[in-house]
Amino acid sequence: MAKKSQLLKGILEGCILKIISYEETYGYEITEKLLKFGFEEISEGTIYPLLIRLEKSGLLKATLKNSPLGPKRKYYSLTVQGEDELNEFQVNWGSLQKIVNNIMEG
């Protein structure tokens, strides 16, 4: 379980950037989308610290907006730097995926 968790942390950042690249969104919605895609063990407690780190790194821009259900929500969108990081992740992921598949297939 711990090994799987460590592996997922490295991949999760790129997946979050990709989800945000589709449309401006907020933390809970990102968590829901990750669950829908199959990340069964992901919680908001995992996502929010990552979003803060990505924002501090300049990859995300956050905007507070009114919510129909209570307090304002922090909506995230990619910065130009975030788009570049996502593109780099996709290239690296494609290469890594090929290598791992080659090894696993013998």
Residue 4 pLDDT > 80 = no
Q: Identify the CATH number of the domain defined by range 2-105.
A: 1.10.10.10
Q: pLDDT of 6-62, one tens digit each?
A: 677 779 999 999 999 999 999 999 999 999 999 887 888 889 999 999 999 999 999
pTM value is 0.88
pLDDT at 3: 61
Query: What residues have CB less than 8 Å from 99, skipping those under 6 apart?
Result: none
DSSP 56-72: HTTSEEEEEEEETTEEE
Measure the CA–CA gap between 106 and 104, rounded to whole angstroms: 5
Residue 106 has pLDDT above 60, yes or no: yes
3-state secondary structure of 63: strand
> Quick check: 58 and 44 in contact, CB under 8 A?
no
